[in-house]
């Protein structure tokens, strides 16, 4: 059931935004250009802030007459949005917050940057979905998964689920593509008038054990799950089966991904289901995904201090559980952990990561909170050395490939230092 | 008691396990094993009966509904109460503290009966206490992270565990509560990883005598760093 074919979306009459919005957009673009020109950093977000100050309703005006897709969830937002953007690009320009700036200023910046793009694919922080979706009225909301991430900052995961559920209930025209193997994501998406269920594989179940509706533990039985309150896994419209996504009508999208791991296959299945909803042929969508080799610097292979290094991002227990199996057999692992506002200042989550599996290989604890990590590794029985600076940590290793895993701000610092921020 | 393994019960990790609390079980087990005392962790899941034969019971944090469910389960299956009555060691953090108390009021205003192992009552406060916390206790300065709405009053049947230097704790300048071998605190998550003296206090209760020193430079370093950060006002 295509919502609004891409062609229609492009042909739709494009009404001019109000003068106030035009002025806000022009000034925001100018500010962004100046900020970029002076090297003051990601100019877009500055521009977004200016536009929002000049026109409080700028999001609604900027989103008008576009086909908007929002992508949210705890893990995989940047990757899935990037996949959807790649799939939609042959149909026309796509406004996208590729840098992962997923709060309102970042979204405005992305829309301001491509005012004429008929499509917008925006990743949105879970806590801003209600506000943003209310204004943008997206054709589609992709809800990937929900697990704990930065509890001290964003509140408890089940409170996030309740917020999303209320937001979804207020979007009768929006199709919600959700992973039905994730009980919390399902609980939120169940409020939608137009859910599309994707069996993309379970996330880390420890967080979802308590039901979003009643708090009792969810009972799992193979792929099926249910709670005593009646919440249960719906029948999937799409199933991720190995390296392909198949829908209930038998349409198949082969996924020959270059990005590693089960989590990325799950992200791809979600992206294909959303693209199909917008009228894209699933097989063609799958083929487009094979051209992606890195996402905002993640998975990139680079050279650091003379070592070939693969850079991975893992910022919470669920992300770590997906990352650990990707690590090469014997290469040394440098782990960089920060505890800034954007990471969450509470490092308790380190104890939910099974670092025990790293026993038997060289490990370096790095980052601003390497002391917390070192204690966790000590109790996990993983011999390690500590070196707060991740680049010096790499430099101190014997020649050969290195896996470098960093959480959010540690990862961004690395990007800035290798000059491709 | 060294010949038989110390059995550490991880109580309802599927409902009370929000903040890396299982780390406390890992810390106790390792500190025992490194000193040559065999130790095992036994997870007690929701819906299962609670054994009364374990040496230590650990209760973690959880959200309102989960906390109410946990309290209900532990009242219905009296294993933990029976074990505590014969002197077993019980350690609770955050929601675990509230569940061990006489009663707690959840965010929706509903009053729930706790286990009554500590003489404390908890009601929701006006704002959430989130950030680094330092409290002076008989086991030295305790350092940790707190994230809770509860304000806890300690009655005459318990004593506070510590006096808060930085942070909120119970809300009246004290943190946590102790009665006999039942001890609880608002320092959530892996509180025993940051506070080895507290871990060894519990171990001494289990084995009958204070355990020998266990030097871990990584832990000393982390404590120095966190106590320094709290002095600098690294609360958010
Ligand atoms: Zn339920």
Cα of A209 from ligand 1 centre, angstroms: 10
pLDDT of residue A34: 65
The reply to whether A91 falls in a domain is yes
Q: Residue B126 and residue B123: Cα distance in Å, rounded?
A: 10
Question: Model confidence over B42-68: pLDDT tens digits?
Answer: 999 988 999 999 999 999 998 888 889
Residue in A215, A349, A371 closest to B221 by CB: A371
Q: Does A215 touch chain B (CB under 8 A)?
A: yes
- What average pLDDT does chain B have? 94
Find out whether B126 and B97 touch, Cβ atoms under 8 Å: no
pLDDT of residue A10: 42
The answer on pLDDT for A2 being more than 50 is no
Identify the domain containing residue B129 by its residue range: 6-231
Secondary structure (3-state) at A313: strand
The distance of B68 to chain A (nearest Cα, Å) reads: 9
Find out whether A333 and A303 touch, Cβ atoms under 8 Å: no
Q: Which residues pair with B58 in a beta bridge?
A: B10, B91
Task: Please indicate whether, in this complex, the C-beta atoms of B189 and A348 are within 8 angstroms of each other.
Answer: yes
Q: Does A324 touch chain B (CB under 8 A)?
A: no
Structural element, H or E, at residue A244: strand A244-247
Cα of A200 from ligand 1 centre, angstroms: 21
Question: Model confidence over A249-265: pLDDT tens digits?
Answer: 999 999 999 998 899 99
Residues 6 or more apart whose Cβ sits within 8 Å of residue A209: A217, A218, B14, B15
Residues 6 or more apart whose Cβ sits within 8 Å of residue A244: A252, A253, A254, A255, A286
* Active centre residues of B (catalytic): 94, 188
Q: Residue B190 and residue A352: Cα distance in Å, rounded?
A: 10
Residue in B20, B69, B147 closest to A349 by CB: B20
Find out whether B73 and B44 touch, Cβ atoms under 8 Å: no
Question: What number of C-beta contacts closer than 8 Å exist between A and B?
Answer: 100
Cα three-residue angle B42-B43-B46, rounded to 5 degrees: 145
More confident residue, A207 or B219: B219
pLDDT of residue A38: 54
The reply to whether B236 falls in a domain is no
Residues A374-383: b if buried by 16+ CB within 10 A, e if exposed = bbbbbbbebe
The answer on pLDDT for B96 being more than 70 is yes
Q: How many domains does chain A have?
A: 3
Find out whether A198 and A269 touch, Cβ atoms under 8 Å: yes
Which CATH number covers residue B15? 3.40.50.880
Find out whether A164 and A143 touch, Cβ atoms under 8 Å: yes
Is the domain of A219 the same as that of A89? yes
Cα of B14 from ligand 1 centre, angstroms: 14
Residue in A206, A216, A347 closest to B17 by CB: A206
Q: Taking CB atoms and an 8 Å cutoff, what residues of chain B touch A348? A: 19-21, 23, 145, 188-190
Cα of A360 from ligand 1 centre, angstroms: 42
pLDDT of residue A277: 95
Residue in A216, A217, A375 closest to B222 by CB: A375
Secondary structure (3-state) at A224: strand
Is the domain of A239 the same as that of A361? no
Is the domain of A82 the same as that of A154? yes
Q: Residue A403 and residue A307: Cα distance in Å, rounded?
A: 10
Which CATH number covers residue A339? 3.90.190.20
- What average pLDDT does chain A have? 87
Question: Model confidence over A112-141: pLDDT tens digits?
Answer: 889 889 999 999 999 999 999 999 999 999
Residues A33-70: b if buried by 16+ CB within 10 A, e if exposed = eebeeeeeebbbbbbbbbbbebbeebbbbbbbebbbbb
Give which of B122, B57, B52 is closest to B94, Cα–Cα. B122
Label the pairing between strands A307-313 and A402-406: parallel
Identify the domain containing residue A150 by its residue range: 57-289
Q: Which residues pair with B137 in a beta bridge?
A: B140, B162
Alpha helices in A211-292 (DSSP H): 262-277, 282-289
pLDDT of residue A48: 77
Find out whether B218 and A378 touch, Cβ atoms under 8 Å: yes
Question: Model confidence over A376-419: pLDDT tens digits?
Answer: 999 999 999 999 999 999 999 999 999 999 999 999 898 766 53
Residue among A205, A375, A381, A388 with most chain B CBs within 10 A, to mutate: A375
B36: left (phi over 0), alpha (psi -120 to 50) or beta: left
Q: Residue A44 and residue A168: Cα distance in Å, rounded?
A: 28
The distance of A157 to chain B (nearest Cα, Å) reads: 9
Residue A47 pLDDT class (50, 70, 90 cuts)? confident
The reply to whether A284 falls in a domain is yes
Is the domain of A62 the same as that of A42? no
First vs last Cα of chain B: how many Å apart?
45
Residue B172 pLDDT class (50, 70, 90 cuts)? very high
What mean pLDDT do residues A225-248 have? 95
The total number of residues shown for chain A amounts to 421
* Closest residue in chain B to residue A205, using alpha carbons only: B14
First vs last Cα of chain A: how many Å apart?
40
Task: Please indicate whether, in this complex, the C-beta atoms of B47 and A217 are within 8 angstroms of each other.
Answer: yes
Residue A23 pLDDT class (50, 70, 90 cuts)? confident
Question: Model confidence over A68-127: pLDDT tens digits?
Answer: 999 999 889 999 999 999 999 999 999 999 888 898 888 988 998 898 899 999 999 999
Q: Residue B50 and residue B12: Cα distance in Å, rounded?
A: 9
Question: Model confidence over A155-206: pLDDT tens digits?
Answer: 578 888 999 999 999 999 999 999 999 999 999 999 999 999 999 987 655 5
- By 3-state DSSP, what share of chain A in percent is helix, strand and coil, each rounded to 5? 40, 20, 40
Find out whether A10 and A118 touch, Cβ atoms under 8 Å: yes
Q: Return phi, psi of residue A290, to 5°.
A: -65, -15
Secondary structure (3-state) at A351: helix
What mean pLDDT do residues A144-151 have? 76
pLDDT of residue B112: 95
More confident residue, A14 or B15: B15
* Closest residue in chain B to residue A353, using alpha carbons only: B20
**Of the candidates A268, A289, A310, which is a domain's last residue?**
A289
The reply to whether A5 falls in a domain is no
* Percent of chain A predicted with pLDDT > 70: 88
Is the domain of A145 the same as that of A283? yes
Q: Residue A315 and residue A309: Cα distance in Å, rounded?
A: 19
Output the CA torsion sign for A326, A330, A332, A338. positive
Is the domain of A260 the same as that of A311? no
Is the domain of A243 the same as that of A119? yes
The reply to whether A11 falls in a domain is no
Is the domain of A24 the same as that of A98? no
pLDDT of residue A14: 47
**Can you read off the two tokens belonging to residue A249?**
């009508």
Q: Taking CB atoms and an 8 Å cutoff, what residues of chain B touch A158? A: 63, 65
The reply to whether B1 falls in a domain is no
The answer on pLDDT for A1 being more than 50 is no
pLDDT of residue B66: 83
Q: Does A403 touch chain B (CB under 8 A)?
A: no
pLDDT of residue A35: 66
Residue A308 pLDDT class (50, 70, 90 cuts)? very high
**Can you read off the two tokens belonging to residue B163?**
């006096």
**Of the candidates A289, A311, A335, which is a domain's last residue?**
A289
**Can you read off the two tokens belonging to residue A56?**
């409080």
Is the domain of A112 the same as that of A235? yes
Cα of A219 from ligand 1 centre, angstroms: 10
Give which of A27, A46, A184 is closest to A106, Cα–Cα. A46
The answer on pLDDT for A18 being more than 80 is no
* Closest residue in chain A to residue B29, using alpha carbons only: A379
Task: Please indicate whether, in this complex, the C-beta atoms of A148 and B18 are within 8 angstroms of each other.
Answer: yes
More confident residue, B159 or A223: B159
Is the domain of A184 the same as that of A274? yes
* Closest residue in chain A to residue B63, using alpha carbons only: A156
Residue A27 pLDDT class (50, 70, 90 cuts)? confident
Is the domain of A283 the same as that of A309? no
Is the domain of A272 the same as that of A383? no
Q: How many domains does chain B have?
A: 1
The answer on pLDDT for B1 being more than 80 is no
């Amino acid at each position: 059931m295509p919502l609004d074919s891409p062609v229609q979306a492009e042909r739709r009459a494009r009404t001019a935004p109000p003068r106030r919005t035009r002025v806000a957009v022009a000034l925001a673009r100018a500010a962004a250009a100046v900020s970029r020109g002076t090297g003051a950093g990601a100019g877009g977000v500055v521009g977004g802030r200016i536009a929002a100050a000049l026109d409080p309703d700028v999001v609604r005006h900027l989103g008008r007459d576009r086909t908007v897709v929002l992508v949210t969830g705890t893990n995989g937002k940047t990757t899935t949005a990037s996949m959807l953007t790649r799939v939609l690009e042959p149909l026309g320009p796509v406004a996208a917050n590729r840098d992962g700036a997923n709060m309102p200023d970042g979204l405005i910046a992305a829309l301001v940057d491509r005012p004429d793009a008929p499509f917008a694919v925006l990743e949105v922080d879970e806590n801003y979905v209600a506000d943003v979706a209310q204004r943008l009225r997206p054709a589609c909301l992709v809800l990937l998964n929900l697990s704990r991430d930065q509890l001290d900052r964003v509140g408890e995961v089940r409170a996030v689920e309740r917020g999303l559920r209320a937001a979804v209930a207020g979007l009768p025209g929006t199709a919600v593509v959700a992973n039905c193997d994730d009980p919390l994501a399902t609980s939120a998406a169940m409020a939608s008038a137009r859910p599309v269920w994707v069996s993309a594989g379970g996330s880390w179940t420890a967080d979802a054990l308590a039901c979003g509706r009643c708090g009792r533990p969810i009972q799992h039985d193979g792929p099926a799950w249910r709670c005593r309150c009646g919440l249960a896994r719906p029948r999937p419209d799409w199933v991720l089966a190995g390296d392909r996504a198949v829908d209930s009508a038998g349409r198949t999208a082969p996924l020959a991904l270059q990005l590693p791991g089960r989590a990325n296959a799950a992200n791809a299945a979600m992206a294909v289901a959303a693209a199909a909803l917008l009228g894209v042929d699933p097989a063609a969508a799958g083929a487009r995904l094979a051209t992606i080799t890195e996402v905002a610097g993640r998975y990139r292979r680079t050279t650091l201090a003379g070592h070939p290094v693969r850079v991975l991002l893992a910022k919470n227990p669920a992300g770590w559980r997906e990352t650990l199996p990707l690590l090469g057999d014997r290469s040394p692992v440098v782990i960089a952990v920060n505890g800034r506002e954007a990471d969450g200042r509470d490092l308790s989550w380190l104890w939910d990561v099974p670092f025990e599996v790293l026993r038997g290989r060289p490990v370096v604890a790095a980052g601003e909170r390497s002391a917390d990590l070192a204690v966790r590794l000590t109790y996990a029985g993983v011999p390690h050395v500590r070196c707060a600076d991740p680049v010096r940590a790499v430099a101190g290793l014997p020649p050969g490939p290195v896996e470098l895993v960093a959480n959010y701000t540690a990862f961004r610092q690395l990007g800035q230092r290798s000059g491709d921020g | 008691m060294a010949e038989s393994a110390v059995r550490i019960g991880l109580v309802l990790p599927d409902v009370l396990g929000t903040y890396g609390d299982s780390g406390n079980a890992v810390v106790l087990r390792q500190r025992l094993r490194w000193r040559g005392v065999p130790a095992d962790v036994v997870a007690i899941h929701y819906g299962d009966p609670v054994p009364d034969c374990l040496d230590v019971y650990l209760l973690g944090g959880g959200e309102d509904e989960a906390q109410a469910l946990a309290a209900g389960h532990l009242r219905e299956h009296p294993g933990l109460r029976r074990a505590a009555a014969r002197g077993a060691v019980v350690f609770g953090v955050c929601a675990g503290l509230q569940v061990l108390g006489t009663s707690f009021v959840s965010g929706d205003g509903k009053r729930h009966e706790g286990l009554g192992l500590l003489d404390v009552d908890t009601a929701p406060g006006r704002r959430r206490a989130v950030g680094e916390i330092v409290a002076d206790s008989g086991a030295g300065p305790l350092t940790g992270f707190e994230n809770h709405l509860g304000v806890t009053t300690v009655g005459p049947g318990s004593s506070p565990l510590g006096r808060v230097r930085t942070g909120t704790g119970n809300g009246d300048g004290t943190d946590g509560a102790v009665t006999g071998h039942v001890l609880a605190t608002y320092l959530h998550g892996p509180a025993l990883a940051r506070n080895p003296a507290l871990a060894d206090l519990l171990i001494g209760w289990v084995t009958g005598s204070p355990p020998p020193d266990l030097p871990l430079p990584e832990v000393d370093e982390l404590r120095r760093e966190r106590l320094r950060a709290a002095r600098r006002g690294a609360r958010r």
